[in-house]
Structure 1
Amino acid sequence: MTDIPASAAGGGAMAQRKATAVRAVSLWNIANILTMVRLLLVPAFVFLMLADGGHDPAWRSFAWAAFSIAMITDLFDGELARRYDLVTDFGKIADPIADKAIMGAALICLSALSDLPWWVTGVILFREIGITLMRFWVIRHGVIPASRGGKMKTLTQGVAVGMYILVLTGPLATLRWWVMAAAVVLTVGTGLDYVRQALVLRRAGLAGERADER
């Protein structure tokens, strides 16, 4: 038996349902809209990148602008979703797809135009896709948080690819080579660190499951 009147209990349940309804996040929130914009920018970027043979400085500048907008939205949509409790199932799926799509499109276009060696594109895409699949592999044991190195990798990749998209000559062309080299080193280094974290997390999770079974 409870000392809470039935009417009060009913009111509390109703208030709880209302609170749940208030907390329901609309698909059309600012974080998801930014993610959708980034997805729509991918085909636009590819068109601009390959227009007029793919080597026209003007078209490449427009492609750089599209790529930059996509990277900027990537900085904001996740932060907005977490800060204002706008996390949705759509965002969880679409955000990483949008991230990989714009970066993958840029790398593949650059390699197809012979501006970037294919092995660089292969290393970066292999790491990005592999780490994403690995996160799903261990997700039942826990979440691998984004590390400071991973954030630095993303920033360096974005700057390096952006510099390759632009038609640069002279010292800037040499500088972009070094920035891309740093991006590749960070890509490989942080990828190996994520693998280590995933193995430790999975080992701990399996040990916990075995302990629960005893």
Structure 2
Amino acid sequence: MNIPNKITISRIMLIPIFIIVLSFPFDWGTISIGATDLPLAHFIAVIIFAIASATDWLDGYYARKYNLVTNLGKFLDPMADKLLVSAAFILLIELGLAPAWVVIVIISREFAVTGLRLVAAGEGIVLAAGQMGKLKTVIQILAIIILLLHNFPFNSIGIPAGDILLYAALVITVISGIEYFIKNWHVMEDSK
């Protein structure tokens, strides 16, 4: 297994730690950031999530720079993204920081695209993520981070940036999903 794939695996391994930090009732107190009193568990979860998210850029950069792009990497990388982001969005519902219907739409799109990728894999085709899908991932990551930080630093100026980013992520997620299916519909046609 090459280094980019190991980096991707490390991202997958951080997901259970992220879940434990946010799911279990650790009472580590709060941390004051600006005008925000933030549960320390949320702050630690943001650090874990940010590190895991950064590995997404790192593994891709390393794979392209050293020509280490593999089919395994093309499969693992988007799967790791979906697992991380889905876990974070589900936990945001539990924490009361995101509406369930938004998360259901976002995760449904991820399942649909994964299904299309599985059909393509059955035909021997590996579908890589497009630019709109990459933008979707960035906006989702930013939304999750700002929501877990309870809208810091934007709460001091009264801008609900976390909510704005969440709904922007919703729109871009839907648009990128439609674009992905239109671009790759031939896979469904060929598999009949």
Q: Same fold (TM over 0.5)?
A: yes
Candidates 17, 28, 52, aligned match of 2:26: 52
In the TM superposition, what is the alpha-carbon distance from 1:171 to its structure 2 partner?
A: 4.0
The aligned counterpart of 1:125 is 107
Q: Does 1:181 align with 2:167?
A: yes
The aligned counterpart of 1:101 is 83
Structure 2 spans left out of the alignment, 5+ residues: 31-37
CA–CA distance in 2 between the matches of 1:181 and 1:73?
Answer: 25
Candidates 150, 158, 170, aligned match of 1:167: 150
Count of residues in Structure 1 that have an aligned counterpart in Structure 2: 179
- Secondary structure at 1:52 match in 2: coil
In the TM superposition, what is the alpha-carbon distance from 1:108 to its structure 2 partner?
A: 0.8
| Higher share in helix | 1
| Higher share in strand | 2
- Secondary structure at 1:115 match in 2: coil
Deviates more, 1:91-100 or 1:112-121: 91-100
Higher relative contact order by CA 8 Å / sep ≥ 6: 1 or 2?
2
In the TM superposition, what is the alpha-carbon distance from 1:113 to its structure 2 partner?
A: 1.5
Query: Using a 3 Å threshold, how does the CA distance of structure 1 residues 170 and 55 change in structure 2: closer, same or farther?
Result: farther
Q: Does 1:61 align with 2:43?
A: yes
Task: Indicate the structure (1 or 2) with the bigger Cα radius of gyration.
Answer: 1
The aligned counterpart of 1:24 is none
What is the alpha-carbon root mean square deviation over aligned residues? Answer: 2.6
Deviates more, 1:83-92 or 1:33-42: 83-92
With the length of structure 1 as denominator, give the TM-score of the two structures: 0.73
Query: Using a 3 Å threshold, how does the CA distance of structure 1 residues 149 and 87 change in structure 2: closer, same or farther?
Result: closer
Q: Does 1:153 align with 2:136?
A: yes
The aligned counterpart of 1:81 is 63
In the TM superposition, what is the alpha-carbon distance from 1:159 to its structure 2 partner?
A: 0.5
Report if the CA contact (8 A) 1:49-1:60 is conserved. yes
Report if the CA contact (8 A) 1:144-1:194 is conserved. no
The aligned counterpart of 1:190 is 176
| Percentage of matched positions with identical amino acids | 33
Deviates more, 1:157-166 or 1:139-148: 139-148
- Please list the CA deviations of residues 140-192 of structure 1 after superposition, one character each: whole Å capped at 9, or x if unmatched: 27454432222211111110111111123454661211111111000001111
With the length of structure 2 as denominator, give the TM-score of the two structures: 0.80
Q: Output the amino acid matched with 1:191.
A: G
